[in-house]
Amino acid sequence: MKKILPVKKNDEIEAVFEDLTHDGAGVAKVDGYPLFVPRALPGEKAKIKVIKTNKSYGIGRLLELHEKSPYRVEISKQDAHKYGGCQLAHINHEGQLKFKENQVHQVLARIGKLEGVRIHPIIGMENPWHYRNKAQVPVGEKDGKLIAGFFKPRTHEIVDTDESLIQIPEVNEAINVVKEVCSKLKIPAYNEESHKGVLRHIMARYGKQTGELMVVLITRTAEVPHQKKLVDAIVSRLPQVKSIVHNINPKRTNVILGEKTKVLWGNEIIYDKIGDVKFAISALSFYQVNPVQTKVLYDKALEYAGLNGNESVIDAYCGIGTISLFLAQKARKVFGVEVVPEAIEDAKRNAALNGITNVQFEAGAAETVIPKWYEAGNKADVLVVDPPRKGCDESLLRTILEMKPKKVVYVSCNPATLARDLRILEDGGYSTVDVQPVDMFPHTTHVECVSQLILNECNPILNSSEPKKTFPIQARLQ
pTM for this model (two decimals): 0.91
Give the whole-angstrom CA distance, residue 201 versus residue 416. 32
pLDDT at 462: 56
Give the whole-angstrom CA distance, residue 287 versus residue 325. 14
The torsion angles phi and psi of 444, rounded to 5 degrees, stand at: -115, 170
pLDDT at 376: 87
pLDDT at 2: 64
What's the burial of 460, exposed, middle or buried (CB within 10 Å: 0-12/13-18/19+)? exposed
**Number of neighbouring beta carbons within 10 Å of residue 1:** 3
- Asked whether 415 and 423 are in contact (CB, 8 A), the reply is no
Catalytic one of 182, 318, 413, 458: 413
- Asked whether 149 and 157 are in contact (CB, 8 A), the reply is no
Give the whole-angstrom CA distance, residue 128 versus residue 368. 39
DSSP string over 353-375 = HTT--SEEEEES-HHHHHHHHHH
Per-residue pLDDT of the chain (478 residues; tens, 9 = 90+): 567 889 999 999 999 999 999 889 999 999 999 999 999 999 999 999 999 999 999 999 999 999 999 999 998 877 888 888 899 999 999 999 999 999 999 999 999 999 889 999 999 999 999 999 999 999 999 988 899 999 987 788 999 999 999 999 999 999 999 999 999 999 999 999 999 999 999 999 999 999 999 999 999 999 999 999 999 999 999 999 999 999 999 999 999 999 999 999 999 999 999 999 999 999 999 899 999 999 999 999 999 999 999 999 999 999 999 999 999 999 999 999 999 999 999 999 999 999 999 999 999 999 899 988 988 888 899 999 999 999 999 989 999 999 999 999 999 999 999 999 999 999 999 999 999 999 999 999 999 999 999 999 887 655 444 544 433 433 333 3
Q: For each of the domains in the chain, give its residue range(s) and CATH number, in order of start.
A: 12-67 (2.40.50.140), 105-125+290-476 (3.40.50.150), 134-274 (2.40.50.1070)
pLDDT at 468: 43
Strand, helix or coil at 72?
strand
Give the whole-angstrom CA distance, residue 299 versus residue 385. 15
Secondary structure of 137-166 in HEC code, one letter for each residue: EEEEEECCEEEEEEECCCCCCEEECCCCCC
In the residue annotation, 413 being an active-site residue is answered as yes
DSSP string over 230-248 = HHHHHHHH-TTEEEEEEEE
